[in-house]
Chain A
Amino acid sequence: MHEYSIALALMERINAEASARGAIAVHRVRVRIGGLSGIEPELLRSAFEIVRERTICWTADLEIDEIPAAWACSACSQPIAPGGVLRCPACGEPAHLSAGDEIVLDRLEMEVP
């Protein structure tokens, strides 16, 4: 379960940010997880609950924005529906993933004395 190591990386990033700003608590953590990122949001949530114990995040809410995968033509940018061949019906070029591989920490709400 690699979500545990993602949660640890997330905690490290939060700790660095919190200590740089002298925060005494983190109230809210918002992350963005893509549908083709390889991260299962519910597993990330459970992992976060384990790793946040006895940290500055112990009462923090984890908000997860799930971003559906979206494909587009690499030449003409026309959206390409998932579930079919990943090639542009108009110009025949291969698709590229235009959204859905995000593993991003977007926002923190911290309490600063």
Chain B
Amino acid sequence: MCETCGCADPHTVPVELYDRILSVNETQAAHNREHFRGQGILAINLMGSPGSGKTAILEATARALAGRWPVAAIAGDLETERDAERLRAAGIPARAITTGNACHLDAAMVHHALHHDSLRHARVLFVENVGNLVCPAVYDLGQAFNAVALAVTEGEDKPLKYPVMFRKADVVLVTKVDLLPYLDFRLDVLTEALQQVMPRPVVFPVSARSGEGLDRWYRWIEERQRDLPAPATAPVPHRHGA
């Protein structure tokens, strides 16, 4: 008799697995991480709603870090190369990943883009994820850090509505703060909300338009890049799975 449910079927076998369902993505993400470490690349996964100002922040960052660190970007969107074009115009190599209908990037898509020549010499690599406050948080890409852009026009309660995303954030960029005089948005209310979903909130209020607050963001990036172990002198050989 079946030991599980007492049915008379002798052939029903229970199998205990305790397997992470996204293990294939996690293996690929670990591979990407190995790749980044081996080449001394600081990889930052930038997430946020559509229109939160992710590309504008990266344009400003690309210009500010020019000459200090080789910066590159991978930009994910459902359609078009527009973000990658904007980032190339800001002076950095950028590859577009068009996901079609997929609402997030996954580690395999990033891996595919990584092997493009133009990204090989980066020391800071931004992965601009698909604009979405839900799905991208679920998929590890192999990044060292997650940054989340939240525009002041989105309201202070977004962290409480989208706790999964903000829990995963290492840093939150509160964007478009040049608009604050025209809005009822309160930074202290946002900070309170973030403290309820992020154990270690790091918050930079910034404006890509006025440049306000961006120095702290640049310093944060540079400190993280300096803290990386020294890159190998030759590319570290790494295996590519099937």
Contacts and interface: CB of A to CB of B under 8 A. Distances in A.
B163 interface: yes
B37 interface: no
A70 interface: no
Contacts of A108: 14-15, 17
Interface in B54-104: 102-104
Contacts of B18: 104-106
Interface size class of B (residues with CB under 8 A): 35 or more
B19 interface: yes
Interface residues of A, number: 40
Contacts of A109: 4, 12-15
B199 A6 contact: no
A9 B197 CA distance: 28
A56 to B, nearest CB: 13
A37 B164 contact: yes
A38 B134 contact: yes
Interface string B17-51: 11111111100000000000000000000000000
B21 A111 contact: no
A17 B15 contact: yes
A39 B163 contact: no
A99 interface: no
Contacts of A9: 21-22, 24-25
A13 B134 contact: no
Interface in A7-52: 9-10, 12-13, 17, 21, 23, 27, 31, 36-39
A94 interface: yes
A93 to B, nearest CB: 9
Nearest to A34: B164
B20 A104 contact: yes
A1 B15 CA distance: 29
Query: Nearest 7 CB-CB pairs, A to B?
Result: A94-B199, A2-B135, A38-B164, A38-B138, A86-B199, A85-B195, A95-B199
Interface of A: 1-2, 5-6, 9-10, 12-13, 17, 21, 23, 27, 31, 36-39, 71, 74, 82-87, 94-97, 103-113
Given A83-B196, A105-B20, 15 more contacts: A2-B134, A5-B106, A6-B22, A6-B138, A17-B15, A38-B134, A85-B195, A86-B198, A94-B200, A104-B18, A104-B21, A105-B18, A106-B16, A107-B14, A110-B12
